[in-house]
Amino acid sequence: MTNINLKIKHQNKKIQLRKIFNFKLSFLFLIFAFSIFRIAEAGVISDAPRFTDVLVKVLQFLLSAVSILAIMMLVVSGAIYFFAAGDRRAMNLAKKSTTYAIVGIIVSLSAMVITRLITSFF
């Protein structure tokens, strides 16, 4: 094949892909347009949780996950320190990891306390 034929095939492929993309985009637009009308018909849910309640639950979950990861980091850094066998680099790495893990635990626990304090006002 010549270079010109390859360019023409490449251009045809680009045009075909652009048409497919435009079709998919217009189809998605129609789906979202019709879904807006369905949402308007739905009305208001009376027993739905408040936004602040949902936000607090998500925040508490994330803070719990961070606390668990920090404790796991503390255990791993202890294992690194235990198996360092006198290697100064490994010992320094374990000490830094332990420091960061303790800071992470303190920050996550402080954030939990602050979150509960703020939610007690609402």
Q: Indicate the helix (H) or strand (E) that contains 112.
A: helix 88-121
d(CA 54, CA 82) in angstroms, rounded, equals 42
pLDDT digits (tens, 9 = 90+) for 78-90: 999 999 988 899 9
Provide the pLDDT confidence category of residue 43 given band limits of 50, 70 and 90: low
Record the pTM.
0.54
pLDDT digits (tens, 9 = 90+) for 97-118: 999 999 988 988 898 888 888 8
Residue 97 · residue 82 · CB < 8 Å: no
Residue 111 · residue 63 · CB < 8 Å: yes
